[in-house]
Homo-oligomer: A and B are copies of this chain.
Amino acid sequence: MNASPAAAQLLAEVKFDAQGLVTAVAQQHDTGEVLMVAWMNRDAITETLASGRVCYFSRSRAALWRKGETSGQVQHLKELRIDCDGDTVLLLVHQEGVACHTGRRNCFFRAVRAGSLVEIAAPLVSSEALYGEHTDG
């Protein structure tokens, strides 16, 4: 896929690591909820800007990861930002359903509270309903 002028301008500012990847933080655009953190490569950024749906790069599968392609839990891109040194992308999105492969709305459901690590959110949907969703692990 050819990068649009905006994508080309953006990609020139992104500092990819030795594996050609950049950290990507997905945030629900209206509530501010941090949904998940994953990775993108050049093609993932280009496709995301072109399609308006977030596409990551899965390190475990070494392939583009079109979020929600099989599960329906897609992320609609509202805005893409990069940080001061260009090594992180912030994706403002609208998340359909749940972001986490465990069935929780976001991946950050374990917190240190009152001296121990506790779960602070329960799954909203079963993992069976999330066919094809996975972590980037």
Residues of A within 8 A of B (CB): 4-7, 9-10, 13, 15, 23, 25, 27, 31-34, 36-37, 49, 79-85, 87-88, 90, 100-102, 104, 107-113, 115-117, 120, 135-137
Residue of A23, A25, A81, A101 ringed by the most chain B CB atoms within 10 A: A81
Closest CB pairs A-B (n = 5): A32-B32, A83-B107, A81-B108, A37-B88, A85-B135
User: A12 CB to closest chain B CB, in angstroms?
Assistant: 9
User: A64 CB to closest chain B CB, in angstroms?
Assistant: 19
* CB <8 Å contact, B10 and A112: yes
* CB <8 Å contact, B117 and A13: yes
